[in-house]
Amino acid sequence: LIVILPSSGGKPIPNPAPSAMPSMSHEPSYVPSVSPSSNEEFQQSVLLQISDVLASGNWTKYDGWGSTSSNLCVWYGVVCNTDGVDDFVSELNLAANNLMGNIGDITMLDNLRYLKILDLDSNSIVGNLT
């Protein structure tokens, strides 16, 4: 299963001039948040749910997964983009990694708003993305 999600045509997100007001759009904010790690912690919680649902204890490669002390962008299969302030998960490449479970049980996947590629090919996954 390889899913390519809609994007901005493959173009990088432009870096607008910083403003005093946080963005209310779905684009990354270019103003540092009060808690700079909040974005990364939120994305970590989504990735941890994925590892729980897809039986990470059986994965062939698991480097970094489950470690809240390491940058999630160095976890095996996780690719990030940055806006200069925060990192955003843009790809999950976990093909042929012995993943097992029902992808429909991952309730937080849509919270990775900048995820463009989800590659789960050649695993034992059932269910549908909704």
Which pTM does this prediction carry?
0.71
Most confident listed range (20-29, 67-76, 90-99): 90-99
**pLDDT interval class at 76 (50, 70, 90):** very high
Q: How many other β-carbons are positioned within 10 Å of the β-carbon of residue 19?
A: 10
Mean pLDDT of 23-49: 64
Q: 3: pLDDT confidence band, cut at 50, 70 and 90?
A: low
* pLDDT tens digits along 97-130: 999 999 999 999 989 999 999 999 999 999 998 7
- The values of phi and psi at residue 68, to 5°, are -80, -5
